[in-house]
Structure 1
Amino acid sequence: MKALHFSIIVCLSVIISACGTSPKVNQSKLTKVESPAPKQPEELISLALKSTSPKQQSKLFFQAAQSYWENNLYAQSDAALGSVQIEHLNEADAQDYLLMSLKLATSNKNKARIEKILPLIPNLGLSGMNVDQQIELSHLLSQAYEITDLTIEAAITLIDHRGLINPEHHQDTDEQIWHLLRSTETADLSQYIYTGDNPDALAWLDLARTIQLNQISLDAQYNAFQAWNELWPSHPASLNPPHELSILKQLPNTRPDSITLALPLSGPLQLAGKAIRDGFMAQHYASNKQNPNHEPLQVRFFDTATQDILSLYNQAPETGSLIIGPLDKASLKALNSLDIISTPTLALNYLPATNAGSDKLYQLGLAPETEARQLATRLHDKSLKRVGIILPENNLGFRIYDSFVESFSSLDGVVIDSVFYKNQKSLASSVARLLGTEDSQNRKRKIRKITNTALEFLPRRRQDIDALVMIAKPEIARQIKPLFAYHYAADLPVFASSQIHNISDNNDNRDLDGIEFIEMPWMLSSTIDIKSQINHAIPESTEQYSRFYALGADSYNIAPRLQLLHEVRGSQMQGHTGMLSMDEQGIINRQLEWAKFRKGKAVTIKE
């Protein structure tokens, strides 16, 4: 498949290299055939159906498709194109057929259709295309590759045709190239072997690998980018870097000089607050060890359990200062009541969705709603449209339920039934209600009472559920999963939140085998250095508050990246709590990972 993709890119490259002009790009409309169709499209289709010549049939169907296209009847155009056999078209019509087919498939994001069209491109005589057609086809190809998840090929296509377009559009093209490469998985970039002869493409790929491989450390990225600039001083990304890289070049000026950790260091939330503090400081010490020549960072501690968070904002802000916190919602709500937040602040919780934050307020947290939304997306992606859900009857269960139902409904999914359990004693009856076997038993009793006859009876579960969602701690989940099997639902896939996973749980979890659950990288990896250091220094760190250590480490790493994430749409950072990105409101979203229990152990799902 790689050879095919490369042959398409090479084919374009040969065409492009033969052109010396740089006309202004016009991508607003598809190139149309100069001679209009002599008849109405319906009449052309009628003639095609009557024709016995495959060549004449394809020509008439294509003319009908063109007529529909020119009248903005795209669905009809697409249907007519489906009857065309490209091998029966002449070269000029075949080129227009390809452009029209790609345009329709990319506008509809029809991945299957695109995958059928792409192999046709190298077989066409593209040398007869004019420059506008070549530019148009290049952009369409790039979109097609992106839709089919071939982001490297999409970027190379743009790189290879960059010389054709008007120089005033070069910066936009470079931003698009960089976005495609940055959205590529690090492993794919590392394994990709470029066999072309365009040095600019080679340099772009080298730059993307350099930035991706060092993304856990902003300082390492900065140093790597500086070294890359020395190797490629005349490259477009060196002379006029994409926005993300231009901000990276300013790193020495964007790193905070002082950080105040505003956390609950006493009171009921002190264990969570101290875990965040310790995770932050562990990452701080590790960074100092790696970069001993940095200006020292001044770290202050502020106990929000004993002091008013607003007092931090009553004094004149210091240049280069940042506040990390608060953690509790009450302090965050008080903070948001200020007319102006004078000091940039990274809150470690989220405001209600209806509240708009300040320009200098960023929000990162471990809200269960994040997992609920991604659970819904996971089920949708697997075409599991009808689900049953079992949750604890408490505030956490209600929050997850509301968020899941809202997200799943927006994806056209349906929660067929839901049950809330109060305690372990209620699990059996809750599962029976969820799966409908309780109703089956009731029917048996009614029939026996009416007939006064002992009946042979096999209970049946309901058949209108595609999957089950379970929100439960490990000790509860180990009871619920066998109950699913007991009630004839062993064949249904089961999905769970991170609550099911506890790295300090030494019990045999084979009863959980097959369950997919969502989790942060910190809880699934055994190769994170500062995690090992924390676990060694603080043995209890593997227990209830382990995820808060990850949050503390991420708050340290994200501090100098806030401007970058805020200004560069689509920019991401691989964090310990997930892949981090920021929306326009300053809310930092976490894209979590998926794992599965196999032989009682949690194993990351690689996709």
Structure 2
Amino acid sequence: MNGSQFTSAFARAARTLTLASLAVLAACTSVTPTERPVSDVTALEQRARAAVDAGNFAAAADLFTQLAAASSGTTRVEYLLEAARSAADYGDTALARRRLGEARSGASAAQQQAIVVLGARLDLAEGRPQAALDALAALPAVLPEQAQRDAAAVRGQALFRTGRPVEAIRVLVEREVWLTDAESILANQRMIWDGFRASPTPAPAPAPTTGDVVVDGWLALAPLAGTSGADLRRSLLAWRQTYTTHPAAAGLLADLLAAQRSTAFPSQIALLLPLSSAQRAFALAIRDGFMAAHLRNPNNAGTTVRVYDTAQAGGAAAYLQAQLDGADFIVGPLSRGEVDQVVEQAGFVPTLALNYSTRDTSFLRSFYQFALAPEDEARAIAAAAIAAGARTAVAFVPSTQRGNEIRNNFQAAFEQAGGELLDWYPYEPALRDFSAPTAALLNVTRSRERHRRLAANLGVAVQFPEPRRREDVDMIFVFADEPGPARLLASQLRFYGAGDIPVYATALVFDAAAQVFNPGSAARNGDLNGFIFADTPALLTPDAAARDLYADVRSYWSQRPVDPRFYGMGFDAYGLIASLYASDGQSWTIRGMSGDLSLDEQGRVRRVLPLAQFRNGRPVALDVSIQPIDTRALTGRR
């Protein structure tokens, strides 16, 4: 960062009055020949704010000057301050000083402090860092929070330029405590890194120590500010091994490396999978789908893929080795536990984990997560049921933590869309007789109990019609990890006269392996006729790429008929790399084998799924046009 500029994040943060408050103040001024109507002032200010957001600071400075001419009192001063900031943003310090001089008349105490801070910023931009420090020294010890942040930014940079890096780091490390969003925190860390580069004296090696691990970590980074390319990458990785939990390890390192990317697609990809574990079959399917996508990529000549077995070295060790080997992008690991392990190292090399972490990853840059999560299926089911008119539901879920998570996820999505989950039954996963759970959830058990109590009270046998089920249920939600429970449940629903209630189930009620590897046996799902389920488009509405992939699966890997969804997951994982690597996590939506894929605010890949219904033992895709339910608060993992 040169002396005449601040980061855009700092420039935006310096603007203290909101549009609404300024409009109110403008409305309270008296009308003079130079003033504009309030509607004109509001429109002009919107143009000025838009110019700032677009980086057109020269236009913004002119527009804010016009606003000041149409205002009076502290509102006029605030517009002049905005004009001065905009002028400083594009390097016109002379204009900025003129606007500051005009702003002194009629400024409030807080505005006078803002004038001092901005004046110190101009001193810094004009190459007079000591003058900036002297100006800031005159401010009171206690300032409004925004003025405190702005003053600290100027003071930290001025200390760097006067050859006092330890003091500068302390000031900016303390400033980071006041910042609340990832963009501002990264901009503050960038300020320290740029301070090393702007320092008049080279950083000593080895770095001095102060006893403060955060400050010492920054001082250890200082000698690296003059390196680049492969040397910078190796040095940053070595630094991170020592300062694993340092604030800069999560954000700044990834940002520095991202700035050096010279290609739109990585030249070396690492694929981390548990190839020699109990999950071997799934890992091999993901690997084979991944490599199938790689081989289909017409531009793959410059890219190599290295596969690491996390079952041998462990997820964390394999992840570190992939970085040491020079991976530009890492895919994996697969298990939830290993994903949690690599989170501690993540943020350095762009990574697509193949599961959802249980930890907070919102602070990490370039760390993404992709899973065949049944939460996506639950959301699709909730949206489809609501679109079909359902407003009440009951649920069958396993009596496990996972079952509770999926039930909670379905309930949140269903009730967010206006439905109500009336009741649920947690069944034992090994259960083979669903008569009791079905009777209990449909209130048939209560009907029988009323019959017995009546007979006991009368002391005689009482003729009683067949027990009646509840009539307030619009749909039944079923979560199962295999087709067996759904088949058993289907027969009991028919037995208790509930065969007319729509049943929606998660994907694994469908034996997809039988359809792909032994198509002739796919019609054996007749006992599930009527069940509706959410599943991947590669299985329900396959396009040419999906048909080609599964043809290859049958040709080359028929000896290990694993769930074909994992082949599609591997294929999609490769397809996601281009979007994640080139756009650095910007929003997008792509059609994949596993669903319509998009990225949420947590860096998780979400899937919008089609639905199908079993008819004559076979799944038939449904033409259901639904709006996916908002997923921001609905998270999950498999």
Distance 2:590 2:483 in 1: 30
Q: Encode CA deviations 1:551-586: one digit per residue, 9 max, x unaligned.
A: 1111111111214665543x2111100011112332
552, 565, 576: which one aligns with 1:533 = 552
1:125 paired residue number:
none
**1:509-528 equivalence runs, <5 A:** 509-525=525-541, 528=547
In the other structure, the counterpart of 1:580 is 597
Which residue pairs with 1:414 in the alignment? 420
| 2:352 paired with 1:349 | no
- 2:620: which partner in 1? 603
Aligned equivalents of 1:299 and 1:279: distance in 2? Answer: 13
- Aligned-residue offset at 1:412: 3.5
SS in 1 for 2:313: coil
Name the residue aligned to 2:33: none
For residues 256-405 of structure 1, the aligned pairs below 5 Å read: 256-287=266-297, 294-311=300-317, 312-313=319-320, 321-338=328-345, 341-352=347-358, 354-356=360-362, 358-405=364-411
Amino acid at match of 1:583: D
Checking the alignment, whether the CA contact within 8 Å between 1:565 and 1:581 is kept in structure 2 is no
Stretches of structure 1 that go unaligned for 5 or more consecutive residues are 1-27, 30-250
Q: What corresponds to 1:453 in structure 2? A: 461
Quick one: distance in 1 between partners of 2:528 and 2:321?
52
Question: 1:359-403: per-residue Cα shift (whole Å, max 9, x none)?
Answer: 021111112222223322222333312111112223432331222
Amino acid at match of 2:469: R
Alignment-derived partner of residue 589 in structure 1: 606
Distance 1:294 1:491, change over 3 A: closer
Aligned 1:82-161 pairs, distance under 5 A: none
1:498–1:319 CA distance, 2 compared to 1 (3 A)? same
1:486 maps to 2:474? no
Query: Structure 1 residues 464 and 565 mapped into 2: Cα distance closer, same or farther (>3 Å)?
Result: farther
Residue 254 to residue 496, structure 1, CA distance change in 2 (3 Å): same
Distance 2:421 2:331 in 1: 38
Q: Which residue of structure 2 aligns with residue 497 of structure 1?
A: 506
- Residue 262 to residue 357, structure 1, CA distance change in 2 (3 Å): farther
Structure 2 letter corresponding to 1:447: L
Q: Is the 8 A contact 1:520 1:576 kept in 2?
A: yes
Quick one: distance in 2 between partners of 1:442 and 1:293? 70
Q: Partners of 1:355 and 1:550 in 2: how far apart?
A: 25
- Who is 2:567 aligned against? 549
Cα deviation code 1:89-121 (max 9, x no counterpart): xxxxxxxxxxxxxxxxxxxxxxxxxxxxxxxxx
1:470 is aligned, of 478, 495, 509, to 478
Equivalenced residues, count: 352
Tell me if the contact between 2:369 and 2:603 (Cα under 8 Å) persists in the aligned partners. yes
How many Å separate the matches in 2 of 1:269 and 1:444? 51
**Structure 2: distance between partners of 1:513 and 1:565:** 44
8 Å CA contact 1:566–1:582 kept in 2: the answer is no
Tell me how far 1:317 sits from its aligned partner: 6.5
Aligned partners of 1:534 and 1:541 also within 8 Å:
no
Matched, 1:508 2:524: yes
Q: Is the 8 A contact 2:281 2:560 kept in 1?
A: no
Indicate the RMSD between aligned Cα atoms, in angstroms: 2.6
1:268 deviates by: 2.1
The one-letter code of the counterpart of 1:414 is E
Structure 2 Cα separation of the partners of residues 353 and 380 of structure 1:
32
Aligned equivalents of 2:622, 2:583: Cα separation in 1: 27
Q: Distance in 2 between matches of 1:314 and 1:277?
A: 19
On the 8 A contact 2:585/2:599 being kept in 1, the answer is: no
Give distance in 2, aligned partners of 1:504 and 1:319. Answer: 37
The answer to which of 596-605 and 368-377 deviates more is 368-377
Q: 1:415 to 1:353 in 2, by over 3 A?
A: farther
The 3-state SS of whatever aligns with 1:407 is: helix
> What letter corresponds to residue 269 of structure 2 in structure 1?
I
| Cα offset, 1:504, TM superposition | 3.7
Instruction: Determine the C-alpha separation between the residues in 1 that align with 2:432 and 2:272.
Output: 42
Q: Distance in 2 between matches of 1:503 and 1:606?
A: 20
> CA contact under 8 A between 1:317 and 1:343: conserved in structure 2?
no
Distance 1:546 1:485, change over 3 A: same
Distance 1:408 1:353 in 2: 26
Alpha-carbon distance change, 431 to 353 in structure 1, aligned in 2, over 3 angstroms: farther
Q: Quickly say closer, same or farther: Cα 1:382–1:316, change in 2 above 3 A.
A: closer
Using the alignment, how far apart are the partners of 2:262 and 2:500 within structure 1?
56
Residues 357, 507 of structure 1: alpha-carbon distance in 2 compared, 3 angstrom cutoff: farther
* Residue pairs, 1:11-30, within 5 angstroms: none
The higher radius of gyration belongs to: 2
Q: Normalized against structure 2, the TM-score is what?
A: 0.52
- In structure 1, distance between residues paired with 2:566 and 2:452: 52
Q: Deviations over 1:74-97 (max 9, x none)?
A: xxxxxxxxxxxxxxxxxxxxxxxx
The 2-side partners of 1:380 and 1:566 are apart by: 35
The answer to whether the 8 A contact 2:287-2:570 is kept is yes
Closer, same or farther: CA 575–332 of 1 in aligned 2, 3 Å:
same
- Deviation for aligned residue 1:434: 0.6
1:395–1:426: structure 2 CA closer, same or farther, 3 Å change rule?
Answer: farther
Secondary structure of the 1:508 match is helix
